[in-house]
Amino acid sequence: KPKCLSKEDVSEEDLEAEKAILRQQLVDSNKPEDIIDKIVEGRLSKYYSEVCLLEQTYIRNGDKTVQNLIQEAISQLGENIVIRRFELFILGQ
């Protein structure tokens, strides 16, 4: 479920909390600090794909993100497309 539109919209508190969780998971692995940093950055990209709408995979084509789909539409239409906000509806709750 997306919580925000893009990476830039993720709050600093949420980002720091997620980094702390990921780092804590790797502390016991006895890996060097620079390797842990790279692993955390890689896992943050997965986190972004879960919480940012533009980073999520397009449901009809798993190879594309929503951002890629927008870029394709821009090139086909010749018009700029900007998503300013979104609403999330959950059925059955």
Q: Does a structural domain hold residue 85?
A: no
Q: Which domain holds residue 55?
A: 7-77
**Alpha-carbon span 77 to 57, nearest angstrom:** 22
pLDDT digits (tens, 9 = 90+) for 4-59: 999 999 999 999 999 999 888 888 788 888 888 899 999 999 999 999 999 999 98
**Alpha-carbon span 81 to 24, nearest angstrom:** 40
Q: Does a structural domain hold residue 1?
A: no
Q: Does a structural domain hold residue 38?
A: yes
Confidence of residue 65 (pLDDT cuts 50, 70, 90): very high
Q: Does a structural domain hold residue 88?
A: no
**Alpha-carbon span 39 to 87, nearest angstrom:** 32
pTM value is: 0.78
19 CB-contact burial (10 Å; exposed 0-12 / middle 13-18 / buried 19+)? middle
Q: Does a structural domain hold residue 28?
A: yes
**Total count of domains within the chain:** 1
